[in-house]
Amino acid sequence: MQTATFWNKIADKYAKDPISDVASYEHKLKLTRDRFRPDMTVLEIACGTGSTAILHAPHVANYLAVDISDRMIEIAQAKDVPSNLTFQVANVEEMPLDPGSFDMVQAHSALHLLGDPKATIEKIYGTLNPGGLFVSSTACVGGVWWLKLIAPIGKALGKFPHLSWFTEDELRKMMRDAGFEIVEDWRPKGKIKALFLIVRKPEA
């Protein structure tokens, strides 16, 4: 289970850090927006300081963005927030999600930080309407042997968050096992780059 302590500690620095790969970030924004409808209800989990939510919210009807860190949410709420966007402190692994509550769920740089990503993917599947979309960008570090060596030390020193270890193929399998069909599969070039997926819950 992830905890807020680490993320509260780094929130102010996180808010000031520039995007490391602007071209890839903007490509992901476009791929997501191409799937928007103006009547959509969207949930974003692990929204951080809310930059992506603020960019996306004007394109849909209602947008709920949550993060486990109250400091991250405090920073997000201090920004120029669209009227249809709500920021809330919540842990996706614990928060109740009613069936058929959302048309889209987004999780950017999030699934690899959860205690049980498989269970969360299944939970997201359940909360989506038929035909609903799950958009994720995930660092799949299961095959990065040197990171497995240093991560426990970094976590013990408070420098690393919890990491769940899975490969890109294992993430794709978790999506399919939950019932999703993959409709977008993209990864920028580089040694450790996030896998961007858009998956769909089949129509009833």
Here the CATH number for the domain that contains residue 86 is: 3.40.50.150
pLDDT at 188: 87
Give 135-156 pLDDT, tens digit per residue: 999 988 766 645 566 556 556 5
Question: Residue 66 above 90 pLDDT?
Answer: yes
pLDDT at 2 over 50: yes
- Identify whether the C-beta of residue 141 lies closer than 8 Å to the C-beta of residue 113: no
Q: Is the pLDDT of residue 86 over 80?
A: yes
Mean pLDDT to the nearest integer, 85-107: 96
% of the chain surpassing 70 pLDDT: 88
- Position 17 in a domain: no
Cβ-contact 98, 76 below 8 angstroms = no
Residue 144 is predicted with a pLDDT of: 60
- Provide mean pLDDT across the span 156-185: 86
125-136 pLDDT per residue, tens: 999 999 999 999
Element (H, E) at 151: helix 145-156
Q: Distance between CA 152 and CA 147 in Å, rounded?
A: 9
Record the pTM.
0.91
- Give the bridge partners for 64, in sequence order: 43, 86
Strands 181-186 and 85-89, by their bridges, are: unpaired
Q: Is residue 37 part of a domain?
A: yes
How many separate domains does the chain show?
1
Greater confidence, 27 or 144? Answer: 27
pLDDT at 1: 45
pLDDT for position 193: 77
On whether residue 49 sits in a domain, the answer given is yes
The overall average pLDDT reported for the chain is: 90
Average pLDDT over residues 53-62: 98
Distance CA 32, CA 136 (A): 10
What SS3 string covers the chain?
CCCHHHHHHHHHHHHHCCCCCHHHHHHHHHHHHCCCCCCCEEEEECCCCCHHHHHHHHHCCEEEEEECCHHHHHHHHCCCCCCCEEEEECCCCCCCCCCCCEEEEEEECCHHHCCCHHHHHHHHHHHEEEEEEEEEEECCCCCCHHHHHHHHHHHHCCCCCCCCCCCHHHHHHHHHHHCCEEEEEECCCCCCCCEEEEEECCCC
> What is the per-residue pLDDT for 189?
81
Q: Is the pLDDT of residue 158 over 90?
A: no
Domain that holds residue 105: 4-12+22-200
